[in-house]
Structure 1
């Protein structure tokens, strides 16, 4: 997994728990694991707030590897505190393959950065799957740990098809 720089501004990796299971009569959940690299991002500040806080818009491009292969574009809103910690919310459009099926889907993300670690919760937006990924549903969380000046991102995504 390639390390990422300046990840404090970027939502990164995923871990998921779904409530349904095949044994409980719910969907058969599969798990996708891997990482992704931020290939580019732009942060555009648009509001300076009291005490050094600010609001920014992020545009991000990622390259996924592992069980998800492909690329993603993300748009997010970021709240930054004077101490460097952040909160973000946005959408990620993933295009590529998942478990050998090709297509795309959209993830809604909400995350935070505490100065060392990034974590986000992901939800696949219902109805956003295309191609062979039509009907895709799922949830996850992402994590990234700051090691030195770089971040290493991992994801784990629980998913099923309607």
Structure 2
């Protein structure tokens, strides 16, 4: 049994490895960013910074869901907490995260789909969602690393970059 667990953790393509990388990146982000309020009003991308500076209304031409680095920091931290503690804890607290809303929407679509099709192919659904989860977790890991490095640059700690 122990050998199986060790092989799973060593496999760079395992779901557990991808999850652990995101959680580690989010923890590193949280440990590095000592003053999250410094992230307020800092555009998420350096390209957005140029758009904001050139825009007369001081509004980005392509607004995203996370308008600044601070909101993105809070989102990544919230998603990490949802992964570590599950959705049940948040439901008990009465709040709804982005992840919860997506899961509920997915469940509603799945129920509707199953009613229409009669029987579902669980294996293909599993592989579809697993593939999506790998993609999302990989992107979130990159974003957490990017946010951490960007924070270091913003506060002048570029010599601290990995």
Asked if Structure 1 and Structure 2 have the same fold, meaning a TM-score greater than 0.5 normalized by the shorter chain, the answer is: no
TM-score (ref. length: structure 2): 0.23
For the pair shown, the structure with the greater C-alpha radius of gyration is: 2
Give the structure with the larger helix fraction: 2
Give the structure with the larger strand fraction: 1
